[in-house]
Chain A
């Protein structure tokens, strides 16, 4: 009867079991990481820190603001808005009709230089109210086609300017290229031609890698509705700098594009005659056209905004620093004083 009693046979497994937990204890391995005790910096906004931070910002921002403001003020900028003036008086009721007609679009403008302008002087055209960032518009291009002569038929994104009615691919295709700006300016001072250098107005990177050297315009602007400039079919796209500039679509509806550079100084009081071809039709959407002559500074063109903004922020921070300093002096609080803890403030309160 005794053979299978538990007491006689249980020894071995029992002891193995009691030994097992000690060998493979599941205690988590201690490390500062697992116990969340990594060394850490715990910054606290003490009054000293806060005031120094504000002062630091004002010390940095105010000088930058002043310098930028001066830089912006140094820039000489002449803007001539011409889109209305360049329509003959009798056609001003029907500007679009005039633009569609074959009438001579030549227009003369006179600009007076107000201040000495050091070369290089940049010649821009500025369009207002022209949505070069319109979604229909920005997508209507084929970067493959522009780069590579083999991708001529890569025009799926280009409609409605993808093919001619005969089905031949347009190079460069798309609305952007089609709508290229085609007013031209020629400047003269004292009846002497002012040369406008149109080389190097586009990005080097675009010329080198984005617009192919072997890609030539084809079937361009042959349709019933020419949108803008025509291109010389014997010049590769990589050298069509006006096109390259135009194809860098502007970010905002009011934008300038570089037309060329004048590489002589202009004196204050100089009178400049501008002969322009008013070819580009912006009348159907009340777009403004402006000719801009401008020098640059280290900050770019004439724009006071950055200077004012920096001065404002710097000044505000200075005021805040002073304000906080006052507050800290008037109503100081001992940091980390346990008597401020809510359960110490009203003992026994619930």
Chain B
């Protein structure tokens, strides 16, 4: 009589609203709704797909699967299954390369980066004999170095993947051997094939996606944990079909079963198939399949048939990498890269034109000039020697100058930036203050290329539930029978423990969490005889039973006491069940057929006769229970909007009398920020029940439109209900949220809250989180039509102007905008967007309630489209995914609601308040470091190129380099790379304490203070001067002397390296020993390298360095260059710091001097005592 499949969608999430844009007037009291959270819904509105839009589409069409799109699985006959189709084996391969393919594939992947291609083209150009500027070895060194570093990194990562693949593939599972003796034998995972029958024991991992055939539970239930798949730690229930469950599969008694299922896809919440079983056709849904990577829990064993294996499993199909975004700074940098390219082309043009002029001027003499010798007399005929006419010569000179000046485009910068970001990410991950104790999770950097964006955020879009709040629901108060019972006013600590434990078989059972109880209500619940008491008991019984919670017992430290943990997908339900338990209605056992509740020490067993899942149309769920006294009762719980319509509105007096006060209570609950649910019940007559049962069974066996039919049946029975009461559940604010929001707002960041909650709840959370204050002028926009929307916006703008102009000077001029989703429907993607943006940008706070996931993304886009300001979205649920992906920076809270948000995010963390250290401290540092690093790298490379360029002007424009090939190549690899990377990772302009004390300092990033066009040009002019100083001091000092090219080249090399390193040292904020080591180490390394190069007798510059370093002129040049080149930079720096100090500069000074002042004062105070 009871089909277990009737509760197949048992884990349906009860709080999913339909698209909240459905039109509703929020302001009226009539329309108070439960705090249904759209947050839970979103892109995957339905977990197990029986009633959502997806399955609605499916259920209205025939649930059959297209022949060509189907996969046929012959159960226990993998041979036949695999004969016609080439299904993937179960071995998985997450590794990218094999030994053979590593080299070509890795190179191919690497050269997809444009920067590497530039390198490659330059290196290839250099290999042409006419253009061979650098030696073969030297010219490919930088490219080879970069490729090697990346390849080693890839190799290591791939090695780790290989290892984990190997472990994974060699796991063992019990597989029914079809050929021989029909018993289960262990088999390696990689040998499992589609069609194999697999037996999984408790706590084992599932080797592949399989359809459950039977479980050790007689009703065919299996509990699985999907932590590895979606991060949700709750147990989920899966079912074997009754038809196969009854078979004795252990003995191979199978018969012929054919499963026809859809092609592999990545939807982990959807599955549809048909099973042909002895002529009967049974439909299979997502609740019948267990996925690879899940673990079997609370079930001794489960037997299933493999349908998707290896790379076709849903887990593997969902294995996608982190999103790739590009940082704002990098985008800005590209503009300057273009300037540099133009500059490079200009230099090359100057060289080649000058060369052409020189050639033409000397064209008659070229044949015999000793240093040119156009003619080659060595052969039998006199030929031109490497001369191709002046046109070609000019062209070649152009290409050669590109080769020589190639480092003008700082390719090494890209690699340094990657390294620096890895280092910065390391420090963010390691930050003690961003570690979340509660979830034991560190900060995660999922995107590695937008660290510095964290320092420029202007807008924060935050989800509410689970982000600002903990999403750990706590039962706060109830309205029962029109009476408000508020725990807050009459809470009693002792009372909480009195009834919250139960003796079972000599063991005390206690709920894991206890809720403060209201003594008055507790006493009332114990009285069985009064009407009031009955009402209260009914209410708690409904709380304990009308849900999908599974109780689990856990050992505690005391062997005589066991804890009951309530597992379920909805935190609201958990809170209600814990509350019921505290009042002595303890849910002890739940199977598909019955529920055991301990009612104040008395065990009662209820038969579950039927259950109607939550769905987003009805917004309620119901359960039909067979009570011990043989009556049948229907308990319903749901959102207030949906519940008040199905109450018994006839002249029944009690109901009528209850409705008004209950609604008032609901209104006050929601304005306190509580989430509300309405509970009602009805006794069913036998005929009613029988009628329901027959239609339910026929609907359940229907092949077409099953979920629609089931919903209709649910609606037909859920009516004429008697109101029991309503519950208020507190969604507690996370720790430190008000302080965090205050800090962010002081930092000039606009915080917008986008929530699916209703307006009252959102506003009250707004107050408790200090987002809204009483001084603010609130602008509320709730509209149902485009015209009224337009009017409200115009009015609001008027108010705005009045507040800003009229009362300006007073502090009360802050504005808060509150807008709901139904109004946004008429605003987003219409011409009204512009007005909303104008309004919103004038407001200090914006609160959007009742917004759908896509609207969240739309609001982010509204800002992104119109300003250059950086946006950050933070959320924890699947419904925040679109917003997280749309914003410049997406942050996922790794909290209660699964991992979709984290998977889509760029960074993930445990708590909202970590946003403060993340943005104000790390973001600020990262931005400042990265900006300086980019400017410094431009300078460093340009100064070197300019020195080469100046020299070319003195070589007849022929691109000779005095600096040796090896030194030019090592310049950006060894001589100057390490210090800038170290500084990019470690330097701090201000201490953490200062940054947190003055959040306003964050404004530096918002105003682009560390990297902008002006700074770029200042840097370039500085570069120009410095290159002139480096080049011309030795030139004039050694003019008309007997110095040779190699010696002078060595002087230039050393001089430029010392200069750029000292320049960096001068701009540093903090000197660690590591910085010292890097900077002075680089200079020493340069000396060593130059010495080594000059100690090679086969190079022309043999021993040159030792000769020139022996002269005093060399050292005088070095000192003079370093000081002379840096004087302008130093003077400008002093002037700016002293006369136009920015906030950072003042804060730095304060950090240094006030600390010492304070400590001095302390000393003075202490002296008299001592």
Contact = CB atoms under 8 A, between A and B. Distances in A.
A251 B1049 contact: yes
A163 B378 CA distance: 6
Given A225-B368, A228-B370, A6 B298 contact: yes
Nearest to A28: B430
B83 interface: no
B229 interface: no
B202 A9 contact: yes
Given A5-B589, A11-B554, A341 B1047 contact: no
Contact of A179 (B370, B1049, B1070, B1113): B370
B955 A134 contact: yes
B1030 to A, nearest CB: 13
Closest 9 CB pairs of A and B: A336-B1149, A4-B217, A160-B376, A179-B370, A336-B1150, A205-B1103, A135-B958, A251-B1048, A10-B552
A43 B1076 CA distance: 13
A324 B1045 contact: no
Contacts of B1038: 251-252
B1131 A320 contact: yes
A9 B298 contact: yes
Interface of B: 202-203, 215-219, 221, 223, 235, 297-300, 362, 365, 368-373, 375-380, 385-386, 427, 429-432, 435, 437, 440-442, 550-556, 562, 564-565, 588-591, 593-594, 809, 811, 954-956, 958-960, 962, 986, 988, 992, 998, 1000, 1003, 1033, 1035-1049, 1069-1074, 1097-1100, 1102-1103, 1106-1107, 1111-1113, 1116-1117, 1120, 1123-1124, 1127, 1131, 1133-1134, 1137-1139, 1141-1143, 1146-1154
Given A34-B430, A126-B1040, A300-B1041, A42 B955 contact: no
Interface stretch (A12-20, A102-110, A187-195, A268-276): A12-20
Instruction: Give the interface size bracket for A toward B.
Output: 35 or more
Contact of A336 (B223, B1112, B1151): B1151
Contacts, number: 338
Contacts of B1123: 57, 61, 313
B290 to A, nearest CB: 16
11 contacts: A4-B298, A5-B590, A7-B551, A134-B960, A138-B1100, A159-B378, A164-B378, A250-B1045, A299-B1113, A320-B1131, A341-B1147
B218 A1 contact: yes
Contacts of A137: 370-372
A285 B365 contact: yes
Contacts of A41: 1070-1071
Contacts of A161: 373, 378
Contacts of A135: 955, 958-960
A317 B1119 CA distance: 14
Given A130-B371, A134-B956, A298-B1112, A254 B1040 contact: yes
Contacts of A225: 368, 375, 377
B1146 A4 contact: no
Given A160-B377, A341-B1147, A42 B1040 contact: no
A251 B1034 CA distance: 11
Interface in A266-296: 281, 284-285
A233 B1139 CA distance: 73
B962 A251 contact: yes
Contacts of B1124: 309, 313
A333 interface: yes
B1069 A131 contact: no
A334 to B, nearest CB: 9
A159 B385 contact: yes
Contacts of B1113: 299-300, 306
Contact of B440 (A26, A257, A309): A26
A41 B146 CA distance: 34
A91 B704 CA distance: 115
A298 B1114 CA distance: 12
Nearest to B1033: A309
B297 A147 contact: no
Nearest to A180: B370
Given A4-B299, A305-B1036, A175 B1042 contact: no
A313 B1127 contact: yes
A57 B1125 CA distance: 13
A115 interface: no
A234 interface: no
B1044 A341 contact: no
B958 A136 contact: yes
For A35, A257, A335, the residue with the greatest tally of chain B CB atoms inside 10 Å of its CB is A335
A236 interface: no
A153 interface: no
B932 to A, nearest CB: 16
Contacts of B1070: 40-42
A338 B1046 CA distance: 54
A14 B512 CA distance: 12
A250 B1035 CA distance: 12
A48 interface: no
B376 A131 contact: no
Contacts of A141: 1100
A70 interface: no
B202 to A, nearest CB: 7
A341 B998 contact: yes
Nearest to B554: A14
A256 B427 contact: no
Contact of B432 (A30, A306, A327): A30
A239 B1147 CA distance: 68
Contacts of A342: 1000, 1003, 1142-1143
A3 interface: yes
A28 B432 CA distance: 6
Contacts of A47: 1138
Contacts of A26: 435, 440-442
Contacts of B218: 1, 3-4
B1043 A147 contact: no
Nearest to A12: B555
A182 B1102 CA distance: 25
B955 A7 contact: no
B759 to A, nearest CB: 28
A227 B376 contact: no
B1072 A40 contact: yes
A200 interface: no
Given A7-B589, A138-B960, A228-B370, A165 B377 contact: yes
A160 B378 contact: yes
Nearest to A125: B1042
Contact of B554 (A15, A68, A310): A15
Contacts of A333: 1138-1139, 1141
A43 B955 contact: no
Contacts of B562: 11
A13 B1040 contact: no
B565 A14 contact: yes
Nearest to B133: A135
Contacts of A340: 1141, 1146
Nearest to B384: A160
A251 B1043 contact: yes
Nearest to B557: A15
Contacts of A163: 378
A39 B1074 CA distance: 11
A209 interface: yes
Interface string A136-175: 1110010110010000000000011111110000000001
A184 interface: no
A284 B369 contact: yes
Interface in A19-77: 21, 25-30, 34-36, 38-45, 47, 50, 57, 61, 64, 68
A224 interface: yes
Contacts of B1099: 143
Nearest to B429: A28
B1102 A160 contact: no
Nearest to B443: A28
Given A64-B1116, A141-B1100, A203-B1107, A28 B1042 contact: no
